[in-house]
Chain A
Amino acid sequence: MITLHWVYALAGAIFAAFAILGVADKSNKRARRTAAFWALLALSMWAGDALGDLGNGVLVLGLVGLAASGLGRGGGVVPDAVRQERAGRLGNGLFAIALVIPVTALVGTLLFKEMPGWIDGKQATLIALALGVLIALLVGCLWLRASPVVPLQQGRRLMDQVGWAAILPQMLASLGAVFALAGVGDAVGGLVSQAIPQGSLLGAVIAYGLGMALFTIVMGNAFAAFPVMTAAIGVPLLIRTYHGDPAIVCAIGMLAGFCGTLLTPMAANFNLVPAALLELKDKHGVIRQQVGTALPLLVVNIALIYWLAFP
């Protein structure tokens, strides 16, 4: 059966290729250190399960040590004039190849769930995504008559642009696990439940919505904030004391948390990674653009809970 481990094997191979091409890249002054970083990531993808928990911890120390000492960025940009000439010659078929990945992910997600013996249905989208990448590479290299080294070399260049931010989301997810182990959520819940104004429904609703957003900003993830805020305010006050509709309180409360996700560098995969990927000079540029949507929407969410959940 095809499982997520096949995708890990592919990802390991691609990171290993980035490392090998990176070592040979003379335009990168820190070529060895940068290559070592991608090589460790390849090791994690390939052998993470065999390393043991402590082994993975040491691997993380290695990754962070390399990142903190400063990674370099390699070159390899194709000159403007060459790209212009190719674009004129090749036409809109380039878009067709770019669409192969989302279309394969779409079709695969729907189709793979019907093939339980062959493919792990729970991971259908990620497996379909990997398949889409392979199809796009194959069709692209054949049609463009490019050697397979070209996509790997260009991918390595883009990966160097992203740099250590590539593992930031994975690191934050791991920190979340340590927070859970240490009981951080319960401590925050204790603080919050002492801080709510007594006897005011509107005050309690605002405390819940705002608390969801603020705690999400700190933790980077509404999933971490939700159980804490719901235990501290949602269930005891809004649902039990004021008899709010639990479905409305919780569903919209979660979305108030999502407004917080738009505002925090802790949600790295949504907010910092795209800034690196789009080569923005301001790494908080995406968050800056989101403020104008997140704040009014947070107010709307708090108002919706107040109006809809308490008839």
Chain B
Amino acid sequence: MWVLLGIAVIVAGFVLRFNPLLVILASALVTGIAAGLDPLVLLAAFGKAFNEARYVSIIWIVLPVVGLLEAFGLQERARGLIGRMRGATVGRFLTGYLLVRQGLAAVGLTSVAGHAQTVRPLVAPIAEAAAERQSGGLDDAEREKVKAMTAATDNVGLFFGEDIFLAIGSILLIKGLLEQYGILLEPLQLSVWAIPTAIAAFLIHGFRLRRLDRRLNRAERP
């Protein structure tokens, strides 16, 4: 039971806003000691896991491309493009992106889009430009909200699309775990049951994007 102290350290560390990297190391140390692991064994275990998880940090290689395009006016261009589209609103645009993201994830193409690949260079500047136009100027709080909503839309699209695909990690994990209990299932039997939630996610998040539109449109009137 003492190993749960590591979780307490994480929660307390995040709440007290210590540097999260230090909090993670402290949690690992407390958990390891509670489980009776030698500190050097623990450090080696952590190092091994860190090395095996390097693929997580590969995504930063897209930053030079994003930086190059931004230096040559990508965000300004997005503003110009959206300015010429009459009916384009941030809510409609993000609803379209949500649908595309869910659709791509549902056929297994999860890494095609993402925060570094598409949100920062493309989706966020277009969303911001659309919001700016429909509201006639954003204040700082609204600008933050629109940008954050863009990232949120990418997450919702990914999470509630990917499980429709047969060969995604979570579906294989479910299949593998149930096999240990003697329950044999095909991936397809599992992945079809991701569809009701995918539809619900689209409806709920789409409704919230419509409300964002209405709020921004109202702000336009004096």
- Residues on A close to B: CB < 8 A? 4, 7-8, 10-11, 14-15, 41, 44-45, 48-49, 51-61, 63-64, 67-68, 78, 83-88, 90-92, 94-95, 97-102, 105-106, 109, 123, 125-126, 129-130, 133, 136-137, 140-141, 144, 146, 150-159, 162, 164-179, 181-184, 187-188, 190-191, 218, 222-223, 226-227, 230, 235, 239, 246-248, 250-252, 254-255, 258, 261-262, 265-266, 268-275, 277-278, 280-282, 285-286, 288-290, 292-293, 296-297, 300-301, 304, 308
Contact = CB atoms under 8 A, between A and B. Distances in A.
Contacts of B124: 278
A88 B79 CA distance: 11
A289 B197 contact: no
Given A53-B45, A169-B56, A87 B6 contact: no
A232 to B, nearest CB: 13
| From A158, A171, A176, residue with most partner B Cβ within 10 Å | A171
Nearest to B39: A57
B181 to A, nearest CB: 5
Contact of A278 (B4, B56, B151, B183): B151
A296 B110 CA distance: 24
A177 B6 CA distance: 13
Interface in B147-188: 147-152, 154-156, 159-160, 163, 169-171, 173-174, 177-178, 181, 183, 185
Interface of B: 1, 3-4, 6-7, 10-11, 14, 19-22, 24-25, 27-28, 31-32, 34-35, 37, 40, 42-78, 80-81, 104, 108-113, 115-122, 124, 140, 144-145, 147-152, 154-156, 159-160, 163, 169-171, 173-174, 177-178, 181, 183, 185, 189-191, 193-194, 196-197, 200-201, 204-205, 208
Summarize B's interface: helix, strand, loop or mixed: helix
Given A64-B25, A168-B24, A289-B152, 12 more contacts: A57-B47, A59-B47, A129-B117, A137-B68, A174-B46, A178-B31, A181-B32, A247-B189, A255-B194, A280-B148, A292-B208, A293-B201
B64 A151 contact: yes
Contacts of A63: 21
A102 B117 contact: yes
A211 to B, nearest CB: 14
A223 B170 contact: yes
B190 A250 contact: yes
A183 B6 CA distance: 11
12 contacts: A14-B61, A64-B21, A83-B75, A109-B112, A155-B64, A167-B21, A170-B53, A178-B6, A227-B173, A258-B163, A265-B20, A282-B144
A304 B47 contact: no
Contacts of B170: 222-223, 226, 254
B28 A175 contact: yes
A221 to B, nearest CB: 10
| From A57, A125, A164, A167, residue with most partner B Cβ within 10 Å | A57
A191 B4 CA distance: 10
Contact of B4 (A91, A106, A187, A272): A187
Given A105-B117, A154-B67, A218-B10, A182 B204 contact: no
B49 A11 contact: no
B6 to A, nearest CB: 7
Contacts of A100: 65
Contacts of A54: 40, 43-44, 47
A63 B80 CA distance: 42
Contacts of B28: 174-175, 178
| From B20, B51, B147, residue with most partner A Cβ within 10 Å | B51
A93 to B, nearest CB: 9
B97 to A, nearest CB: 12
Contact of B32 (A45, A137, A182): A182
B21 A168 contact: yes
Contact of A227 (B67, B115, B177): B177
Given A129-B117, A155-B63, A184 B4 contact: yes
Given A125-B111, A222-B170, A269-B56, A87 B31 contact: no
A172 B24 contact: yes
Given A105-B112, A278-B124, A56 B47 contact: yes
B37 A177 contact: no
A219 B68 CA distance: 36
A293 B201 CA distance: 7
Nearest to A258: B159
Contact of A275 (B48, B71, B151, B156): B151
B77 A94 contact: yes
Contact of B69 (A57, A98, A274): A98
B193 A251 contact: yes
